């Protein structure tokens, strides 16, 4: 199954139905879509925009241990978390934001070295100067649809690149 492409088409269809451009809506939609597809893969996934006890930063999604319990569906004990996901529709973020994500991921791993921290983006231009890299972040980075240049064109992709399967495999290792 080509899950990359399914996710892409699902996002496109829902954004078109929404009818207006909104980065907040796009971000929320991406989180809900990734959550749904991860649950279909058998993962227990938190709601979006949650917290780990002792960390002040909001986190996009958490992959949880099967019996994990939350406080008000909002906060989790660090020992019940398997992975932390930072999600972006387009992967370009400023230098200081990249440093903040790296520091956040490093802090989480210091609290529990078994947690996998992942930066997942729908798309980014391969040659973009501010593209997030594993080397810079020090944690896993997955781009579902890396592109050569120009504006992202949904119709250009007849299939995905298999990155979703690599991402899921990484989470299950």
To the question of pTM greater than 0.85 for the whole model, the response is yes
Q: Are strands 70-71 and 75-76 parallel, antiparallel or unpaired?
A: antiparallel
List, for residues 50-102, the tens digit of each pLDDT value: 999 999 999 999 999 999 999 999 999 999 999 999 999 877 778 888 999 99
Provide the residue range defining the domain that includes 130: 3-151+160-172
Mean pLDDT of 47-52: 97
From the list 164, 53, 69, the residue with the least C-alpha distance to 118 is: 164
70 half-sphere exposure, CB direction, 13 A CA radius: 16
Q: Are strands 70-71 and 116-125 parallel, antiparallel or unpaired?
A: unpaired
CATH of the domain at 113: 3.40.1350.10
Count structural domains, the chain.
1
Sign of CA dihedral 35, 40, 41, 44: positive
């Amino acid at each position: 199954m080509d899950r990359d492409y399914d996710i892409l088409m699902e996002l496109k269809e829902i954004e078109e139905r929404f009818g207006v451009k909104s980065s907040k809506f796009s971000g929320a939609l991406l989180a809900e879509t990734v959550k749904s597809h991860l649950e279909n893969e058998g993962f227990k996934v938190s709601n979006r925009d949650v917290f780990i006890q002792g960390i002040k930063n909001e986190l996009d999604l958490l992959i949880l241990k099967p019996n994990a319990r939350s406080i008000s569906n909002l906060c989790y004990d660090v020992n019940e978390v398997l992975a932390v996901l930072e999600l972006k529709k387009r992967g370009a973020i400023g230098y200081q934001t990249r440093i903040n994500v790296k520091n956040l991921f490093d802090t989480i791993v210091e609290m529990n070295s078994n947690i996998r921290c992942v930066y997942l983006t729908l798309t980014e231009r391969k040659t973009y100067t501010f593209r997030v890299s594993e080397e810079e972040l020090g944690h896993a980075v997955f781009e579902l649809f890396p592109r050569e240049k120009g504006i992202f064109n949904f119709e250009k992709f007849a299939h995905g690149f298999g990155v979703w399967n690599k991402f899921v495999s990484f989470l299950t290792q």
